[in-house]
């Protein structure tokens, strides 16, 4: 079995199709395994799309045993991975860039760990170009009657670091 056993199906560069929660987590696990210090992922998608499920997998891939959930009220959670920390943000409740300073985001963006930011797209300018946008979307038109729709997961790199990350994922997923 490949390292990606059970992961979402590869449909193009940085693009995947997930048919279940487990497949999304398995893809996240592969992604977590190729992250390095300073990588920044901005997860973008509607409520319930699967951003936190993907993050659960990323945490597993970094060797984190804790159960990950959206830090909607605490804004930030830190998990100690085997190689480095995972900084997990949920910026859903923020509506102004001036509030970002208090979240601690700027302290960890270029630090000793990887950042996963849910609802970060509204602050793309502040987060900067060294990021990878990860779009998670429900494909409602492709759902079987009464079933959960599959999810499209698409990584879009900005800058060289992001391209290297997509390359690393391509090599293993």
Ligand X SMILES: Nc1ncnc2c1ncn2[C@@H]1O[C@H](COP(=O)(O)OP(=O)(O)O)[C@@H](O)[C@H]1O
- The contact set with ligand X (CB under 6 A) reads 18-21, 23-24, 45, 47-53, 70, 118, 148, 150-151
Partner from Mg ion, ligand X, none contacting 76, C-beta within 5 to 8 A by type: none
Partner from Mg ion, ligand X, none contacting 49, C-beta within 5 to 8 A by type: ligand X
| Cα-based distances in Å from 172 to 27, 62, 65, 105, 126 | 10, 15, 22, 29, 31
Only one residue has tokens 């936190």, namely 52
| 53/103 with CB nearer ligand X | 53
| Cα-based distances in Å from 24 to 53, 107, 115, 161 | 7, 29, 18, 23
| 70/76 with CB nearer Mg ion | 70
Please state the closest distance from residue 34 (CB atom) to ligand X, in A: 20
Q: Return the number of other C-beta atoms located less than 10 Å from residue 73's C-beta.
A: 8
| 35/58 with CB nearer ligand X | 58
- Quick one: which of 52, 53, 60, 103 contacts Mg ion (CB under 5 A)? 52
Partner from Mg ion, ligand X, none contacting 6, C-beta within 5 to 8 A by type: none
Who contacts 168 (Cβ-Cβ below 8 Å, separation ≥6)? 34
Question: For residue 161, what are its two tokens?
Answer: 């670091």
Which residue stretch of 17-25, 33-41, 49-57, 126-134 sits at the interface with Mg ion (rule: CB under 5 A)? Answer: 49-57
């Amino acid at each position: 079995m490949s390292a990606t056993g059970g992961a979402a199906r590869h449909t193009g560069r940085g693009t995947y199709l997930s048919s279940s929660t487990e497949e999304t987590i398995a893809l996240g696990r592969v992604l977590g395994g190729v992250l390095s210090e300073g990588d920044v992922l901005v997860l973008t998608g509607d409520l319930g799309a699967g951003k936190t499920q993907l993050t659960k997998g990323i945490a597993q891939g970094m060797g984190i045993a804790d159960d990950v959930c959206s830090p909607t009220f605490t804004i930030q959670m830190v998990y100690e991975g085997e190689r480095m920390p995972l900084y997990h943000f949920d910026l859903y409740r923020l509506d102004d860039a001036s509030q970002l300073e208090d979240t601690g985001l700027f302290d960890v963006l270029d630090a000793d760990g990887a950042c996963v930011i849910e609802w970060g797209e509204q602050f793309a300018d502040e987060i900067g170009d060294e990021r990878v946008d990860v779009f998670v979307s429900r494909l409602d038109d492709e759902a079987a009657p009464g079933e959960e729709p599959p999810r499209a997961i698409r990584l879009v790199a900005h800058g060289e670091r992001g391209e290297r990350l997509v390359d690393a994922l391509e090599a293993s997923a």
